Structure 1
Amino acid sequence: MLLPVIAGVDGSTESLAAAEWAAHEAVRRNRPLRLVHAWNWHPRRADGDPASAAQRHLAERVLRDAEECIRAATPEVRLTDEQVEGPATAALLRAADQAELLVLGSRGLSGFTGLLVGSVALGVAAKATRPLVLVRREADAEAPCLPADDGNRSARDGDLDVVLGVDLTETCDEVIEFAFQAAWRRQARLRVVHAWQRPSAIALGPGDIALVNEPHRAEEWQQFLSAVLKLWRDKFPETEVVETVVEGKASTTLVRAASAASLLVVGRHVSDRPTVPRIGPVTQAAVHHVACPLAIVPHG
């Protein structure tokens, strides 16, 4: 049985944009799409309680509206929907365990303040064990139901790069493979970005002091990146790859690189302490400040 792409919907325009993005992604992957709406259930509330009935009715309407929008935009997608009970974060995490990919809307404000991501999206991003994509309304390039505020359509996926942020001190096959597959499906160029910073003398160990005056550090990072990507270039020979090594802060570099991207792919290390979920400072910056769809791929 093929795992579906799952989109969480709550009736907001952001979740509709995410659902439409998920529909296109499901078609690309030849997977079914499942819409999930989570509503809070109280253990002391009987099924016949008026509040419970009202919540179920609202959930049906939210799912119906999302389904109508998706069928109009992507009629070829295989679509189902589901109501789930419980706190939204926990319910969506359970759904993610049954998904190839989970897609959520990211509420936000444009401008220098970046995105104000909802607590549900942040909670899922910190704990999900499956890949997650966060989509904001303004970033959705394939949502005819939801035009941009100025009425203009954005460029489609194939016109823009897929950007992959790589930490060469901890390369992860799961993250790299996700990005290559995303670029291949879109017939897009893949831009792989690594940012490095000069180590301070305080941070260096006794055996590293010679690196302070190393004149070819950037070239060595470039060669290292090329070596890491060689296997993946061979697996995806039709995908154009651009390698970028930049001296600077990783979070700033990625936000800048994603400004003209169709998708940014980053990794999230799965903590050995599940009670202390973290998404890491670079992924945290991307979550709050990147306008394009953001894929967060967990890895060990």
Structure 2
Amino acid sequence: MTNPVLVGIDGSAESLSAADWAGEEAARRNLPIRLLNVWANPVSNVQFSPNPEGMRFWAEGQVREAGRRMTERHPHMAVEAQQIYGVPGQVLLHAADASELTVLGHHGRGAVADSVLGGTALHVLARSGRPVVLVRADQPADETGKVVVLGLDLGRPCESLLTFAFEQAADRGAVVHAVHVWNEHEVHLAAPTPGAGLAAQVLAEQERGLAQALAPWRQKFPSVEVRHSVLQGPVAQRLAEAGKDADLLVIGRRRLHAPSVVHIGPVARAVLHHAARPVAVVSHE
């Protein structure tokens, strides 16, 4: 059985944008799609709250409407739209691990984004072994520059991250733009006798290392055009800037094996905070 593309639907504009993006992804890869709303009874003062059952019916209507729209746009696609009762993070995580890809809405920037990312989305991002894509409501669902930007840490080469980025580019007919970011100030602080040419020397070494890391993937995907850049400055900010016009920004997340830890790392969190385009987070060892 082919694993579907999973979308979390909560009726927000962000989740509907996620559904639009996921529909194009599933159609491009000839995959089924699963639209899922997870319902949990609200914990609040009933005296001042709407009827919980009415809220549940509204949420169920939202996921069914999303399914209807998906079928209209992609009539040949297998579409499943359902509501499941349970704890949203746990239910979505279980569904994500049985899916090819999970797509979630990203609720903007600032304190609200941190709050939302600290809940359901963070739980799925931090625990799922499958790629997770976050999509904003304020960005178009269609492609822009036919570029997949890949953030690489040369100290942690990652096969699953590279595979995902190159497969995405091949499916889209897009360019892979691999980006490695380093901090010039850290190099000077670490050097026992920093000199004027140290930064240029390190930059040249980083560029050679990035080219070497990409060489096997150029051979595996000969039809994919590859560009690479070594940038200086704050990692998350530079990655977000590099991906501002991309179809997709792909970053990695180290897989943690402590079951009680919900953590995606400061760079991944900051990239999600700053990035304007869809961001794919791929777990790796």
Q: Does 1:5 align with 2:5?
A: yes
Structure 2 Cα separation of the partners of residues 172 and 115 of structure 1 = 32
Secondary structure (helix, strand or coil) at the match of 1:138 reads coil
Structure 1 Cα separation of the partners of residues 57 and 206 of structure 2 = 56
Structure 1 Cα separation of the partners of residues 112 and 74 of structure 2 = 28
State the partner residue of 1:126.
126
Q: Does 1:284 align with 2:284?
A: no
State the partner residue of 1:182.
168
Structure 2 Cα separation of the partners of residues 292 and 121 of structure 1 = 17
Structure 1 Cα separation of the partners of residues 78 and 150 of structure 2 = 29
Structure 2 Cα separation of the partners of residues 296 and 236 of structure 1 = 21
Moved more, 246-255 or 164-173: 246-255
CA shift at 1:255, angstroms?
Answer: 1.3
1:11–1:258 distance in 2 versus 1, CA, 3 Å: same
Q: How many residues align?
A: 272
TM-score, normalized by length of structure 2? 0.87
State the partner residue of 1:150.
none
- Cα deviations across residues 155-178 of structure 1 (Å, max 9, x unaligned)? x24x33110000001111101111
Structure 2 Cα separation of the partners of residues 70 and 140 of structure 1 = 17
- Cα deviations across residues 233-257 of structure 1 (Å, max 9, x unaligned)? 1111111111001122211210111
Amino acid at match of 1:67: G
State the partner residue of 1:295.
280
TM-score, normalized by length of structure 1? 0.83
Amino acid at match of 2:148: V
Structure 2 Cα separation of the partners of residues 82 and 210 of structure 1 = 63
State the partner residue of 2:19.
19
Structure 1 Cα separation of the partners of residues 246 and 61 of structure 2 = 34
State the partner residue of 1:85.
85
The answer to whether the 8 Å contact 1:103/1:134 transfers is yes
Structure 2 Cα separation of the partners of residues 222 and 133 of structure 1 = 28
The answer to whether the 8 Å contact 1:115/1:289 transfers is no
Amino acid at match of 1:82: Q
CA shift at 1:107, angstroms?
Answer: 1.1
State the partner residue of 1:230.
215
CA shift at 1:217, angstroms?
Answer: 1.1
Structure 2 Cα separation of the partners of residues 104 and 258 of structure 1 = 19
Query: What residue ranges of structure 1 are gaps of 5+ in the alignment?
Result: 43-50, 143-155
CA shift at 1:138, angstroms?
Answer: 1.6
Equivalences for residues 194-213 of structure 1 within 5 A: 194-198=180-184, 199-200=186-187, 203=190, 209=192
CA shift at 1:54, angstroms?
Answer: 3.9
Structure 2 Cα separation of the partners of residues 31 and 137 of structure 1 = 23
CA shift at 1:289, angstroms?
Answer: 1.2
Secondary structure (helix, strand or coil) at the match of 1:191 reads strand
Equivalences for residues 38-77 of structure 1 within 5 A: 38-40=38-40, 53-54=53-54, 56-77=56-77
Structure 2 Cα separation of the partners of residues 285 and 90 of structure 1 = 24
The answer to whether the 8 Å contact 2:146/2:172 transfers is no
State the partner residue of 2:138.
138
Q: Does 1:274 align with 2:259?
A: yes
Structure 1 Cα separation of the partners of residues 209 and 20 of structure 2 = 38
Secondary structure (helix, strand or coil) at the match of 2:38 reads strand
Structure 1 Cα separation of the partners of residues 146 and 29 of structure 2 = 19
Structure 2 Cα separation of the partners of residues 240 and 282 of structure 1 = 27
Equivalences for residues 89-100 of structure 1 within 5 A: 89-100=89-100
Query: What residue ranges of structure 2 are gaps of 5+ in the alignment?
Result: 43-50
Percent of aligned pairs with the same amino acid = 38
Secondary structure (helix, strand or coil) at the match of 2:82 reads strand
State the partner residue of 1:254.
239
CA shift at 1:41, angstroms?
Answer: 5.3
RMSD: 2.3
The answer to whether the 8 Å contact 2:178/2:227 transfers is yes
1:235–1:114 distance in 2 versus 1, CA, 3 Å: farther
Structure 1 Cα separation of the partners of residues 5 and 156 of structure 2 = 28
Amino acid at match of 1:294: V
